[in-house]
Amino acid sequence: MGTLCKGRPRVKALGDYARQSLRISGERSGFYPGMLLKGTAGEPLPCGGVHWSISHKPECVAGVVSHVPGGIDIERVKPVSDNLFNKILAPEEAACFGESDRVEAFFKTFTAKEAVLKTHGVGLAGLSRVRVVAAPTPLVTRLDYQGDVCTVAHFWVDGHIASVVREGVDVVWECVHVSPS
């Protein structure tokens, strides 16, 4: 995108790239939502029984389609302050990750919580209502959102972590380098 693309044009360009990744997900899975409609709070609305979710950061975008509600989030992994770590992970949540790297546990948790909130059509205001209940493998975290326990799969790529809710579906991760269309 270069240094000339900043502010709203940059956000729009990133959104366009994320939608391109969504199209690729649709092609790979054999179904696509058609129109990408959003609700009054900006949440993705299913179309023709197809649910969708996107996420983007300056260097990386992600998109997913599914026949069940789902959400995806991606973040660049970088150091975090103790205050931010403690705001996102309660001590009992951090304990679920055992001896895992602190930064890794933070970003697994943050992206998983955001993916769960997207699945439920809720923004970050609901962050305090999502809790990690288990991390059974290095690539899976289980979270509770108001009594609904969700399984989230994680994927690492180019210094980023992507997390997607995988209830009732298998997740096939694929890293595709795209260029502007």
The parent domain of residue 101 ranges over 7-165
Mean per-residue pLDDT for 20-42? 81
Contact 75, 111 (CB under 8 A): yes
Paired tokens of 95:
């304990």
Does residue 171 form part of some domain? no
Please indicate, yes or no, if residue 2 is contained in any of the structural domains: no
As a whole number, the mean pLDDT across the chain is: 85
- Six-digit token string for 57: 């950061």
| Domains held by the chain: number | 1
Is 172 inside any structural domain? no
Phi and psi at residue 133, to the nearest 5°? -115, -20
pLDDT at 4: 45
pLDDT given at position 174: 57
Separation of alpha carbons 155 and 164, rounded Å: 9
Among 31, 19, 15, 107, which Cα is nearest to 63's? 19
Per-residue pLDDT tens digits for 53-83: 888 888 888 888 888 888 999 999 999 999 9
Lowest mean pLDDT among 19-33, 67-81, 115-129: 19-33
In a domain, 48, yes or no: yes
Confidence tier at 14 by pLDDT (50, 70, 90): confident
What is the pLDDT at residue 135?
96
Q: What is the pTM of this model?
A: 0.85
CATH code, domain carrying 76 = 3.90.470.20
